[in-house]
């Protein structure tokens, strides 16, 4: 995964996780962990450090304790530390688990789920995003065993930061240097805060699912949207305290608990009407529906018959719902989606402009992500910035997206004259 640097002033505008559990494993790059803790503390991020037994040969617990302002843990069997904060509690405390440096040994141990030390146990006991900044000799990095372990970890959703190429502490030159602390901080900044958004008092309108465009009484043009992302957003918004209206295309999903109103529609034009009607009383609109761009020019009242030979369909363009909502005054905060198979950033940014949206959540379709899938990953763009929401189930992503929407809406309102 590629991380873009926050284009805002990083020091004054930290929107990343607030609580970082930093695992430090054994390698000369462990000295950079000290700098990393400082950089995070400067941004008022809470950091709790866990050292592996090998890390302690490279860096002192006292140093990291002084820099983080928190006790440093290094053992599962430290009765006093466990009494103060048990390891399961520590795993729950974190918004994100970051291991920097992640040695070849640590990657292997994590890939195989070993839990015979504190760091391994914490990683198993955590369902938070796991970020790994590997650091090792170039041949250790290139070794098929390491690469296989990485592939396993990535397939489970871990994000790999780096490594860099260049001169190594062992005197060799190649790939395996740990990313510089600033680059790791920039990667962390692109993760949304894990804290749930507080949407109490806000009215949120969500569209979800496909639209179906009828050709005749039995046939239609449609798409493969399941509606799950939009329904997860509606559920998370209701959970965050919003009054939620859900406009749903034809899907077979139950209304999420807490959703105040559901309007079922079939075609893009019906969705257009329902959304315009409901948007007048909305503070935030999240357009997650996969709206058909075109509809048949004619809808036959009888089933179309085969005539032999080719059939040509004339299609008319459907109204763009988001663009229509952007013209409303007062105008709700508008979030659109962009499902793309290529050039995601360029196309998502173009949509920000063409549709007049405040935020575009882009997802790459294909490679097991996006439409008709359980998991998703989103790159969220706004004028002047972006955030990566790492691969996760749609419920988690919906929560993270809402937290980001709440932050961006607050920032937009602050910036408004």
Residues carrying an active site annotation: 170
- Cβ atoms of residues 321 and 275 within 8 Å: yes
The reply on whether position 358 binds ligand C5P by CB under 6 A is no
The reply on whether position 337 binds ligand C5P by CB under 6 A is yes
Which CB atom, from 14 or from 337, has the smaller least distance to ligand C5P? 337
The region of 53-61, 172-180, 237-245, 288-296 touching ligand C5P under the rule CB under 6 A is 288-296
What is the smallest separation between the CB atom of 289 and ligand C5P, expressed in angstroms?
4
The region of 90-98, 336-344, 397-405, 408-416 touching ligand C5P under the rule CB under 6 A is 336-344
The region of 86-94, 294-302, 332-340, 391-399 touching ligand C5P under the rule CB under 6 A is 332-340
Segment 201-230, which members bind ligand C5P (CB under 6 A)? 207
What is the smallest separation between the CB atom of 379 and ligand C5P, expressed in angstroms?
14
Neighbours of 2 (CB within 10 A): 8
Q: Which two tokens stand for residue 96?
A: 């994100």
The reply on whether position 291 binds ligand C5P by CB under 6 A is yes
The reply on whether position 320 binds ligand C5P by CB under 6 A is yes
Which CB atom, from 226 or from 318, has the smaller least distance to ligand C5P? 318
Which CB atom, from 67 or from 206, has the smaller least distance to ligand C5P? 206
What is the smallest separation between the CB atom of 295 and ligand C5P, expressed in angstroms?
10
Which CB atom, from 178 or from 279, has the smaller least distance to ligand C5P? 279
The reply on whether position 318 binds ligand C5P by CB under 6 A is yes
The region of 76-84, 91-99, 162-170, 334-342 touching ligand C5P under the rule CB under 6 A is 334-342
CA torsion angle 135 137 141 142 (round to 10): 160
The reply on whether position 285 binds ligand C5P by CB under 6 A is no
What is the smallest separation between the CB atom of 212 and ligand C5P, expressed in angstroms?
14
Q: Of 256, 257, 277, whose CA–CA distance to 265 is shortest?
A: 277
Which residues contact residue 166 at a Cβ distance below 8 angstroms, ignoring those fewer than 6 apart? 173, 177
Which CB atom, from 236 or from 322, has the smaller least distance to ligand C5P? 322
Q: Which two tokens stand for residue 152?
A: 């396993």
The reply on whether position 111 binds ligand C5P by CB under 6 A is no
Which residues contact residue 321 at a Cβ distance below 8 angstroms, ignoring those fewer than 6 apart? 207, 268, 271, 272, 275, 276, 287, 289, 291
Which CB atom, from 338 or from 397, has the smaller least distance to ligand C5P? 338
Would you tell me the crossing angle of helices 144-155 and 104-111 to the nearest 10 degrees?
A: 50
Task: Report in angstroms the alpha-carbon separations of 243 from 93, 205, 291.
Answer: 29, 8, 24
Which CB atom, from 120 or from 336, has the smaller least distance to ligand C5P? 336
What is the smallest separation between the CB atom of 211 and ligand C5P, expressed in angstroms?
8
The reply on whether position 231 binds ligand C5P by CB under 6 A is no
Cis amide leading into 5 (omega within 30): no
- Cβ atoms of residues 35 and 52 within 8 Å: no
The reply on whether position 344 binds ligand C5P by CB under 6 A is no
The reply on whether position 265 binds ligand C5P by CB under 6 A is no
Which of 10, 150, 204, 338 forms a contact with ligand C5P (CB under 6 A)?
A: 338
Which of 118, 131, 237, 268 forms a contact with ligand C5P (CB under 6 A)?
A: 268
Which residues contact residue 62 at a Cβ distance below 8 angstroms, ignoring those fewer than 6 apart? none
What is the smallest separation between the CB atom of 141 and ligand C5P, expressed in angstroms?
39
The region of 77-85, 249-257, 284-292, 366-374 touching ligand C5P under the rule CB under 6 A is 284-292
Which CB atom, from 101 or from 227, has the smaller least distance to ligand C5P? 227
Q: Which residues bind ligand C5P (CB under 6 A)?
A: 207, 268, 287, 289, 291, 293, 318, 320-322, 336-338, 351
């Amino acid at each position: 995964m590629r991380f873009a640097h926050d284009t805002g002033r990083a020091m004054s505008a930290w929107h990343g996780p607030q609580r970082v559990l930093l695992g430090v494993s054994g390698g000369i790059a462990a000295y950079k962990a000290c700098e990393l803790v400082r950089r995070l503390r400067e941004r008022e991020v809470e950091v709790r450090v866990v050292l592996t037994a090998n890390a302690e040969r490279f860096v002192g617990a006292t140093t990291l304790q002084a820099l983080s302002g928190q006790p440093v843990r290094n053992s599962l069997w430290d009765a006093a530390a466990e009494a103060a904060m048990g390891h399961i509690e520590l795993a729950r405390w974190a918004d994100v688990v970051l291991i920097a440096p992640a040695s070849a040994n640590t990657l292997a141990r994590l890939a195989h789920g070993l839990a015979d030390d504190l760091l391994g146990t914490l990683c198993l006991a955590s369902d938070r995003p796991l970020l790994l900044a590997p650091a090792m000799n170039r041949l250790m990095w290139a070794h098929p065993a390491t690469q296989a372990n990485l592939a396993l970890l990535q397939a489970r959703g871990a994000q790999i930061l780096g490594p860099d190429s260049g001169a190594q502490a062992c005197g060799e030159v190649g790939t395996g240097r740990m990313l510089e602390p600033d680059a790791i901080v920039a990667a962390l900044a692109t993760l949304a805060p894990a804290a749930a958004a507080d949407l109490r008092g806000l009215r949120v309108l969500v569209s979800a699912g496909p639209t179906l465009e009828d050709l005749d009484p039995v046939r239609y043009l449609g798409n493969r949207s399941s509606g799950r992302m939009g329904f997860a957003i509606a559920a998370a918004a209701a959970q965050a305290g919003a009054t939620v209206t859900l406009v749903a295309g034809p899907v077979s999903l139950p209304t999420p608990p807490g959703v105040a109103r559901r309007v079922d529609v079939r075609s893009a034009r019906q969705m257009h009407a329902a959304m315009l009607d409901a948007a007048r009383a909305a503070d935030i609109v999240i357009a997650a529906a996969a709206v058909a761009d075109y509809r048949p020019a004619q809808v036959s009242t009888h089933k179309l018959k085969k005539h032999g030979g080719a059939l040509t369909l004339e299609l008319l363009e459907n109204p763009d719902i988001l663009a229509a909502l952007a013209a409303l005054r007062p105008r709700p905060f508008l979030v659109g989606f962009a499902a793309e198979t290529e050039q995601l950033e360029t196309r998502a940014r173009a949509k920000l402009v063409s549709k007049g949206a405040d935020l575009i959540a882009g997802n790459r379709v294909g490679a097991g992500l996006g439409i008709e899938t359980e998991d998703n990953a989103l790159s969220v763009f706004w004028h002047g910035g972006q955030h990566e929401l790492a691969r996760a189930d749609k419920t988690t992503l919906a929560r993270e997206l809402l937290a980001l929407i709440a932050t961006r809406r607050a920032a937009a309102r602050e910036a408004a004259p």
